[in-house]
Structure 1
């Protein structure tokens, strides 16, 4: 089970912040009481606020203060004194549950991920939503300030708005709002439909509006038949100081498992919570 990963979200509490400051950590977990996996921290975690106890549910990450160990609950459990909630397992809970022998887990700060997308007919929106769920990432829709109508998207009409914009290299349709905290994201998945073999001009607007230096961009697109082709590489010049990974074309009906397989093949920046059999 080497290199299999799960995602954990830590709560915005003093104790969770102190745990975050201890990362990276390599802990050995073992089964306890048929309800949880427990691993002992190398040093006491100052809870600050104390630990009064909770009723833990599947996926809860808690500190058991009297023993100084982390608990990952794979079964709902009754109230227990001394438990302090620290976070939640967002993805990969099945991996933790199936571990029936001691296993090691390396906890590291994960890269902050944004899935940004532009969608007119809902296909790209559907893919972006599944991808965001898989990555436990934030989701941002690129919404044009002047929304597209059906007539605007009539590709057979050379006078339609989409046709004219696509034929104008200087076209930069305005975007209605901003990404909150763009500077805090390490990875941006960027999704769009294919228009005449290229990304819509509003994607250029998006790329030129923010500073992507030091970030990683992963493009993906949707179309009925066209591949991603040069649509992605043609965007590289708009954010030259970023690391671009190879993109892929999907249909609107792509499954979550197919997206997970694609993500597993990407060389994303390190920083995940991983578990492997000991």
Structure 2
């Protein structure tokens, strides 16, 4: 599934992977979230419901552009820098263009939605 992420006047593109956690996230869309900086590595935001962790690995080492779900806190985490393995981190997708829009320590408001298919 392709995602469109609007951040100010910039549009970022991403894909969601085909796993139960990603599918659960897709069911919440469209979403408007405030992503705040965490550890100068990622942008995080709480979600209004916990996502399934069915068939998810125990953890994940994140890379630039990874869209993840951090199960212990129930939040979305978007990485703009690489990060070490973290227990409870689940990869749900990847930013395919525009990751530089998140390379700021300021909080950012984003609208995330599924990309509509072109006819």
TM-score under structure 2 length normalisation: 0.88
The correspondence of residues 193-212 of structure 1 with structure 2, limited to 5 A, is none
1:106 equivalent to 2:111? Answer yes
Local SS of the residue matching 2:8? coil
Tell whether the 8 Å contact from 2:8 to 2:109 is kept in structure 1 after alignment: no
Using the alignment, how far apart are the partners of 2:85 and 2:71 within structure 1?
14
Q: Give how far 1:51 is off.
A: 4.6
TM-score under structure 1 length normalisation: 0.39
The correspondence of residues 67-216 of structure 1 with structure 2, limited to 5 A, is 67-97=73-103, 99-111=104-116, 186-187=117-118, 215=119
Larger RCO: 1 or 2 (CA < 8 Å, sep 6+): 2
Local SS of the residue matching 1:80? strand
More helix by share: 1
Using the alignment, how far apart are the partners of 2:72 and 2:17 within structure 1?
21
Unmatched 5+ stretches in structure 2: 1-6
* Deviation beyond 6 Å, 4+ runs, structure 1: none
Tell whether the 8 Å contact from 1:64 to 1:83 is kept in structure 2 after alignment: yes
C-alpha root-mean-square deviation of aligned residues, in Å?
1.3
1:27 equivalent to 2:57? Answer no
Count residues with an aligned counterpart: 113
Pick from 60, 68, 83 the counterpart of residue 62 of structure 1: 68
Tell whether the 8 Å contact from 2:40 to 2:105 is kept in structure 1 after alignment: no
Q: Give how far 1:106 is off.
A: 0.7
Local SS of the residue matching 2:26? helix
Partner residue, 2:50? 44
More strand by share: 2
Tell whether the 8 Å contact from 1:62 to 1:84 is kept in structure 2 after alignment: yes
Who wins on radius of gyration, i.e. which is larger?
Answer: 1
Using the alignment, how far apart are the partners of 1:2 and 1:75 within structure 2?
21
Q: Give how far 1:64 is off.
A: 0.5
Q: Give how far 1:20 is off.
A: 0.7
Q: What CA deviation, in whole Å up to 9, does each residue of 1:168-195 have, x standing for no partner? A: xxxxxxxxxxxxxxxxxx32xxxxxxxx
Using the alignment, how far apart are the partners of 1:42 and 1:67 within structure 2?
12
Partner residue, 1:15? 21
Tell whether the 8 Å contact from 1:51 to 1:65 is kept in structure 2 after alignment: no
